[in-house]
Amino acid sequence: QRFCLKLPNPGLDERIPSHAELEKLELEEAGERPQWDNKAQYMLTCVGFCVGLGNVWRFPYLCQSHGGGAFMIPFLILLVLEGIPLLHLEFAIGQRLRKGSIGVWRSINPYLVGVGIASMLVSFLVGMYYNTIIAWVMWYFFNSFQDPLPWSQCPINENRTGFVSECERSSPVDYFWYRKTLNTTPVIEDSGGLQWWIVLCLFCAWTLLWVCCLRGIETTGKAVYVTSTLPYLVLTIFLIRGLTLKGSVSGIKFLFTPDLDELLNPTTWLDAGAQVFYSFSLAFGGLISFSSYNSVHNNCEQDAVIISVINGLTSIYAAIVIYSIIGFRATERFDDCLSGNILTLLNTFDLPEGNITESNYEGFLQHLNSTAPQTLQELQLKTCDMQTFLSQGVEGTGLAFIVFTEAITKMPFSPLWSVLFFIMLFCLGLSTMFGSVEGVVVPLQDLNILPKHWPKEAYTGLVCFVSFGLAIIFAQGSGEYWLALFDGFAGSIPLLIIAFCEMMAVSYIYGIDRFNDDIKFMIGHKPNFFWQATWRLVSPLIVLLIFLFYFITTISKELTYIAWDPQSENFPALETKSYPDWIYAIIFILSGVPALVIPAVALFRLIRKSCSAREEKHTGGDSISHQTQIPDELDRTRSLH
């Protein structure tokens, strides 16, 4: 029965604190490690880290496009088989070894430090572009304090005869997003220069993040009381508002209409798995860090289950709210489309108003089709289809900045709803950023490359400053394309690899038996068969499958991006363009470097160790004096011990 595969791991006991030492630490409450003020702070921070923008603008789209209510089945199954075990693993290992991600992997085995460095790099890259989205949210928030909202109507051209052409051909919300906010260029090669207003918003976002993360969890622990709870309040307000609007129920029906055939499509399961994985912010290192500040006997198993359930329920709740508003918008658009057509018909045939209404519209059209089909053709009536309106542009930035903003302009008291909506997005994003910053700062401290006497404020300040400097690339005209690039490649493949390595490391290098004993020591009972099976077999398998799927689809197809090009033929539809060749180098840096760091560091350490072993034999001196003579070519080497 015992599937007892364990790789040799000498010296483990020296690197990790023993159970007795942990008890002592617990009683004394001494030590440099920060602590949570109370359990609520810890839970709110973790919930905030997990619940992010993806819950609001990725999950509802996946739900609707993969068979509505039927999507719940793969989502919930994979939540249980993949999300909860991984979460429990990260919590438990952080709580047991009481270190950030690099410290934890270094304790398990010094060759695994690469996993921690990879986590840090991914946290850094993801944090860079994620905060840019927050900067955009802030820009919209700043612009919400005026009536009428700037995206509710097109600006007028110079001779005041009509609207600006680009806006006329698309829509006011599109124009405001693509021109006034991003000032986007038609292709990614075209930089377009820095947009100063975005730079200002970026600066605001990073300084605000710094003030919240200034002293690590001491400050973020206070901030999460607001940033983690406010989104739920706003979602509820929007739910009540949404349900009172016309057409909201049709949106919710559209969302949940089950199509069980979708369950046979493997893409559905893979998308569900990917969504669960990314939604839990696993493999960033932030969760390990947060968990390490807990007391040793904290019930991490219970925490993992509670947070997973909250995350899942939040996704579903947000989906309901979003789709009620989308249903309202689709109904408004449909009504407008229909009224436009009816007006055209009335004008052409000079019929009195009220002759054609929504109810007899179809009948009239049929009558017209039989009597004067030619005239009908010439009129070029628009097709008004509710289903089309309901499935328009409903994920990612398109949902928040185009579809939802348009819906808001149709509500009474629009500035109020706009302010509320963007505050909610801001809080969702900021609480995720806390975890990201934690995932960069703590490993940085563990690496010992910067002077140890630097206060935490300096570390967080440095990370924020460097990230802000590099994030300036997203403030260019082509910034949105760069962001989509980062979103697609920096955060996807490396995370899967890191998560897989984490599970392998804990199960087979640290040893599942030792891990079980640790958990028994911490929470009082050994993890049951469900945990054993998922940690050792099921979850790594799922992660591996998702990784292979992503890898193969990325490699096999030509990489393209969608661009806003006013000169293109299909304008205002977005145009698919292919990346220039040098982008492939960037993609390799984004995806490949964090992934390759894992074996590279192990290899580096191996080479160094064999070199020093050879030298030791050569000189014959005793180890201590020998180590002090080794020249430090690279500061980093000190940290790899």
Partner 1 sequence: MLAGVLLLIFLPPLVAKDLCKDSQDGFKVRLSIKTALGDDAYEWNESEMFLFRSTLAYAMRKQTKQDTYNITNILVCNDTQRVSFVFVVTSPDDPDQLIPKEQIEQAVRQNKHRINNAFLLSDMTLEFVGIPPTLAAPIIYDTEPWLIVFGVVIGAVAVGIVALLMSTVSKKRRAKEKAAGLSEEDEGIVKENGTALSGLGGKEGVYNQTFSNDNRFTEL
Contacts to partner 1 by CB under 8 A: 27-35, 37, 138-139, 141-143, 145-146, 155-156, 160-163, 197, 200-201, 203-204, 207-208, 210-211, 214-219, 343, 346-347, 350-354, 452-453, 455-457
CB of 32 to partner 1, least distance (A): 6
**Helix (DSSP H) and strand (DSSP E) numbers for the chain:** 34, 2
- Count other C-beta atoms under 10 Å from residue 547's C-beta: 19
CB of 399 to partner 1, least distance (A): 22
CB of 405 to partner 1, least distance (A): 15
Main-chain phi, psi angles of 16, to 5 degrees? -110, 150
CB of 458 to partner 1, least distance (A): 10
Residue with Cβ nearer partner 1 (357 or 369): 357
Angle between helical axes of 84-97 and 512-523 (0-180°, round to 10)? 80
CA distances from 458 to 129, 132, 165, 307, 486 (A): 22, 22, 49, 31, 27
Residue with Cβ nearer partner 1 (128 or 138): 138
- Rounded (5°) CA angle 584-586-591: 95
Closest CA to 485 of 617, 368, 578: 578
CA-atom Rg of the chain in angstroms = 28
User: Are 419 and 145 in contact, with CB atoms under 8 Å apart?
Assistant: yes
Determine the 3-state secondary structure of 194 from DSSP.
strand
CB of 215 to partner 1, least distance (A): 6
Residues, the chain, total?
641
CB of 137 to partner 1, least distance (A): 12
Distance CA 72, CA 50 (A): 19
- DSSP assignment of 72-139 equals HHHHHHHIIIIIHHHHHHHHHHHHHH-S-HHHHHHHH-GGGHHHHHHHHHHHHHHHHHHHHHHHHHHH
CB of 471 to partner 1, least distance (A): 17
Residue with Cβ nearer partner 1 (31 or 599): 31
Question: Which residues lie below 8 Å from residue 480, measured CB to CB, with a gap of 6+?
Answer: 182, 184, 397, 474
CA distances from 102 to 6, 110, 116, 217 (A): 22, 10, 4, 18
Distance CA 480, CA 166 (A): 19
- The residue assigned the tokens 């209404």 is 357
Strands of 451-557 (E only): list them.
none
CB of 232 to partner 1, least distance (A): 23
194: β partners:
476
Residue with Cβ nearer partner 1 (166 or 487): 166
Q: What sign does the CA torsion over 291, 641, 32, 23 have?
A: positive
The answer to the question of whether 428 is labelled as a binding residue is yes
Residue with Cβ nearer partner 1 (139 or 323): 139
Q: What sign does the CA torsion over 437, 443, 448, 453 have?
A: positive
- Count other C-beta atoms under 10 Å from residue 414's C-beta: 19
- DSSP assignment of 145-201 equals SSSS-TTSSPPB-TTSSSB-HHHHHS-HHHHIIIIIIS---SSTT----B-HHHHHH
Residue with Cβ nearer partner 1 (214 or 472): 214
The answer to the question of whether 51 is labelled as a binding residue is yes
Residue with Cβ nearer partner 1 (351 or 611): 351
Residue with Cβ nearer partner 1 (314 or 467): 467
Angle between helical axes of 196-213 and 414-447 (0-180°, round to 10)? 60
Residue with Cβ nearer partner 1 (214 or 381): 214
Residue with Cβ nearer partner 1 (236 or 347): 347
CB of 162 to partner 1, least distance (A): 7
Burial class (CB in 10 A: 0-12, 13-18, 19+), 209: buried
Residue with Cβ nearer partner 1 (161 or 374): 161
Residue with Cβ nearer partner 1 (38 or 244): 38
CB of 219 to partner 1, least distance (A): 7
CB of 499 to partner 1, least distance (A): 28
CB of 147 to partner 1, least distance (A): 10
User: Are 286 and 49 in contact, with CB atoms under 8 Å apart?
Assistant: yes
**Residue 437's Cα: distance from chain center in Å?**
14
Question: Which residues lie below 8 Å from residue 586, measured CB to CB, with a gap of 6+?
Answer: 485
The answer to the question of whether 311 is labelled as a binding residue is yes
Residues belonging to the binding site for Na(+) are: 48, 51, 55, 279, 311, 428
Please report, in range form, the residues annotated as the binding site.
48, 51, 55, 279, 311, 428
